[in-house]
Amino acid sequence: MESEKPFSERVAEIAARLGFVMLGCDRLSGGASQETWLMSATRDGLRDDLILRRSPNGQDKLRETSAGLTAEAALMRRAARSAIPVPDVVHVLTAADELGAGFISRRVFGETIPKKILREDAYRAARPLLAAQSGAILAAIHAIPLDELPPLQEQTAAQRVEALRARYDRIGERRPIFELAFRWLGERTPVDAVRRLCHGDFRNGNLIIDADGIAAVLDWELAHTGDPIEDLGWLCVPSWRFGHLNREAGGFGTRDDLLDAYVAAGGPAVDPRRIDFWILFGTLAWGIGCLNFAAEFRTGDRTVERASIGRRVSETELDLMMLLTGRLQ
């Protein structure tokens, strides 16, 4: 049952139990599936802001591939022990908190908006470092022993394609280029991959960047076990290059920069055909995500976010055509 106390009062009470004095609580924009709140706070007289991440309205409705916020918090804590840059998780919500599912972490300062990261002078020195840093961080993520993880779904490449096809079929809107991409994937689905922890959404936009490079890796909710090359391919999806198509890795570096650093940090050697598979898979997956948002907008969820993302279906169709014809890596 939802508490009768105002939301801000419940949040302030949690902050107080953690030793913080809350000055205010404001919801931040962005985030398609979870709520993010900035808890302006002090501790021991010094400014020490917090971030509350919780399921919409406190209801933990997991998507098919979602690990859930409790698992996300556990993963971040385990990642921190491997020196992977993540926000410091200070509290995981319980039923007694009366806020639903979620967790509270310390705020990490920096920028997450890709266009600013890729264009503004404040990040000029950081940009050449980001591809190599990404490779090293992904190698560290993939090295975390599976027996030290919270319960996660195992998703082989074949299962990923099958689940994506089922999602596409449920939308019920046929796109010829999507059909061609599914055929291409079906003919090239890799097998016998070494199963590792996959972040699931490691891309430009889910990284906090400061003047020195990557300050934190965010959004672990899609983590699963599977082919680690999926993470490398996802970072190289054209949509996450934000117009800098010649810089395959997030719009900030080359694929070679990314893969060389990945292998140097202990990651396995990468078969070019395998990363090509995951780049095309990721492009198709994002396209179907956009298609689904457009369908949701038409059927009642008439938010600006659904409309703005839904209209990008055509962009992914062009990316797929360029990838399939070899005009884009």
One DSSP character per residue, 256-316 reads HHHHHHHHHTTPPP--HHHHHHHHHHHHHHHHHHHHHHHHHHHTT---HHHHHHHTTHHHH
**CA distances to 66, 223, 251 from 71, in Å:** 9, 9, 30
**Gyration radius of the chain over CA positions:** 20
**CA distances to 5, 36, 210, 310 from 164, in Å:** 41, 27, 35, 17
Packing angle of the helix pair 157-171, 272-298 (nearest 10 deg)? 20
Beta bridge partners of 210: 213
Are 190 and 279 spatial neighbours (Cβ–Cβ below 8 Å)? no
31-88: per-residue pLDDT in tens? 557 899 999 999 999 999 999 999 876 555 555 567 889 999 999 999 999 999 999 9
Tokens of residue 137, six digits? 């961080």
Are 267 and 275 spatial neighbours (Cβ–Cβ below 8 Å)? no
Residue 290's pLDDT is what? 94
- The pTM score is 0.93
**Structural domains of the chain ordered from first start:** 7-106 (3.30.200), 114-324 (3.90.1200.10)
Each of the 329 residues of the chain gets a pLDDT tens digit; together they read: 456 788 989 999 999 999 999 999 999 876 557 899 999 999 999 999 999 999 876 555 555 567 889 999 999 999 999 999 999 999 999 999 989 999 999 999 999 999 999 999 999 999 999 999 999 999 999 999 999 999 999 999 999 999 999 999 999 999 999 999 999 999 999 987 789 999 999 999 999 999 999 999 999 999 999 999 999 999 999 999 999 999 999 999 999 999 999 999 999 999 999 999 999 999 999 999 999 988 888 887 777 878 888 889 999 999 999 999 998 87
